[in-house]
Amino acid sequence: MSAGEYVLHGLKLSYFTGKLEAYLRVKGVPHRFVGMDMADFRACARATGIAQMPQLETPDGGWLTDTTAILRRFEDEGAGPRLRPTDPAAGFLSLLLEDAFDEWLWRPALYYRWAFVEDARLMSRQIARTMLRDVPGPLWLRDRVIRARQRREFLARDGITPLTSPAIERLYPEVLAVLEAILASRPFLFGDRPCEADFGLFGPMFRHFFSDPTPGAILRETSPAVLAWTSRLWGTQPADLDGAADLAEAPADLDPLLALVARDHLPELAAHLEATLAGRPEARFQACGVDWRVPVSPYRAGCLLSLRQDFQALPEAARVAVRKRLGPAVAILEGTIPQLPARKSGRPLNRHLRA
């Protein structure tokens, strides 16, 4: 490792690896990329105690995990171009959208990757050639095993049924239509420079919706401004932001996007928190107009508690502004902040296969 250089351990088709890689590029953080195989994945897990992807090795030999926490740390340190709105209410809404894009768009991103034959065959073969390159056995067998595993975990076990899959296929173009109106009017979600919300959106957009055959075709046909934003963010360098005004308030045309988050994402987080605290194995909620039953995610419960802490720490004027933007769903952010059961606040194991 060179002096001052970070090492990003991940996979080039990975949702969260792409998110972090784009942030480091825009922020101007010196880094090099190491494509994980299973040996590197296990080595990173031993170093951090967390089996997930990506992981960031620091120049002093330390480790950073969880892309949301990594972005927050860099922004708190204040180095490089500022990528957080200066207005407290806008700053919170950026964090809320970043969380929603991470967790709410996760389901459609994985659905389009594994529910369609062409997409699933392409992606399973890529994982077999990269992540599983050091696993013994012929390529065709590694390919078949990973495809079956991903379909089981991210379709069957994530609540995808004949009743819920049409809702996912409605949600993706619904989100694209809202984003198209926003990104046709300015370079990034909040203005002339990206913020945490942009990088949260980049995770599902770049490595899934932009790259996979089925959602990519929909994106190209319906949403040219979103397509251009994806390339723009990937190509942005720190010097490109010289002279770009700091982000201030959250533009009013974000409200339709916030309404979708209030409709779907916050109720799901609340259901995961309730189930986690009750020790139940499933979270039950309504989103996209249908009922869902999915394995409980203590990580998502922790996401809600983090958002509650951020919201409740805002100045009163900022809380009032956020209430106006989110409507009744803001009550989910005004709840208590209980202690989660031990060892249930971190990322789930095997998140490295969220690719």
Q: 62: domain CATH number?
A: 3.40.30.10
Cα separation values, 43 from 27, 57, 132, 176, Å: 27, 12, 15, 38
In a domain, 92, yes or no: no
* Residue 263 and residue 334 in one domain: yes
Q: Which domain holds residue 303?
A: 254-340
Average pLDDT over residues 334-343: 89
Final residue belonging to a domain, choices 105, 127, 154: 154
Average pLDDT estimate for 204-228: 98
pLDDT on residue 146: 96
Q: Over the chain, what is the mean pLDDT? A: 94
Checking if the pLDDT of 347 tops 70, the result is: no
* Residue 3 pLDDT: 60
Domain end, chosen from 154, 179, 201, is at 154
Taking the C-alpha atoms of residue 139 and residue 126, their distance in angstroms, rounded to an integer, is: 10
* Token pair in block for residue 206: 């770049």
Instruction: Kindly tell me if the per-residue pLDDT of 197 is higher than 90.
Output: yes
pLDDT-derived band at 355, boundaries 50, 70, 90: very low
Give me 84's structure tokens. 């957080």
Print the SS3 string covering the chain. Answer: CCCCCEEEEECCCCHHHHHHHHHHHHHCCCEEEEECCHHHHHHHHHHHCCCCCCEEECCCCCEEECHHHHHHHHHHHCCCCCCCCCCHHHHHHHHHHHHHHHHCCHHHHHHHHHCCHHHHHHHHHHHHHCCCCCCCCCHHHHHHHHHHHHHHHHCHHHCCCCCCHHHHHHHHHHHHHHHHHHHCCCCCCCCCCCCHHHHHHHHHHHHHHCCCHHHHHHHHHHCHHHHHHHHHHHHCCHHHHCCCCCCCCCCHHHHHHHHHHHHHHHHHHHHHHHHHHHCCCEEEEEECCEEEEEECCHHHHHHHHHHHHHHHCCCHHHHHHHHHHHHHHHHHHHCCCCCCCCCCCCCCCCHHHCC
Average pLDDT of the segment spanning 199-212: 97
Contacts of 207 (CB under 8 A, 6+ apart): 12, 13, 14, 15, 17, 18, 355
C-beta neighbour count of 86 within 10 angstroms: 12
Angle of helix 213-222 relative to helix 117-129, nearest 10 degrees?
A: 120
pLDDT-based confidence at residue 2 (cuts at 50, 70, 90): low
pLDDT-based confidence at 316, cuts 50/70/90?
very high
Q: Count of domains in the chain?
A: 3
Per-residue b/e over 21-44, b at no fewer than 16 CB within 10 Å?
bbbbbbbebebeeeebbeebbeeb
Label residue 342 by pLDDT band (50, 70, 90): confident
What is the per-residue pLDDT for 343?
57
Q: For residue 210, is it within any domain?
A: no
Q: What is the mean pLDDT of residues 153-165?
A: 95
Evaluate whether residue 292 is within a structural domain.
yes
Question: Does residue 180 form part of some domain?
Answer: no
Co-location of 54 and 132 in the same domain? no
pLDDT above 90 for 352: no
Q: Which of 83, 6, 77 is nearest to 238 (CA)?
A: 83
Question: Which pLDDT belongs to residue 79?
Answer: 83
Rounded Cα–Cα distance for residues 207 and 192 (Å): 23
Q: How confident is the model at residue 78 (pLDDT cuts 50, 70, 90)?
A: confident
Which of 29, 47, 77 terminates a domain? The answer is: 77
Neighbours of 211 (CB within 10 A): 19
pLDDT tens digits for 229-270? 999 999 999 999 998 888 989 999 999 999 999 999 999 999
What residues contact 102, with CB distance under 8 A and at least 6 apart?
16, 19, 67, 68, 200, 203, 303
Residue 224 confidence (pLDDT) above 90: yes
Mean pLDDT, residues 12-28: 97
| Closest to 205 measured CA to CA, from 224, 237, 229 | 229
* pLDDT exceeds cutoff 60 at 350: no
204 falls within a domain: no
> Comparing C-alpha atoms, which of 60, 62, 64, 61 is closest to residue 23?
64
Same domain, 63 and 123: no
Residue 172 lies in a domain: no
Residue 238 pLDDT: 95
Tens digits of residue pLDDT in 290-306: 999 999 999 999 999 99
Q: What is the pLDDT of residue 144?
A: 97
- 275 against 346, higher pLDDT: 275
Residue 24 inside a domain? The answer is: yes
Residue 33 lies in a domain: yes
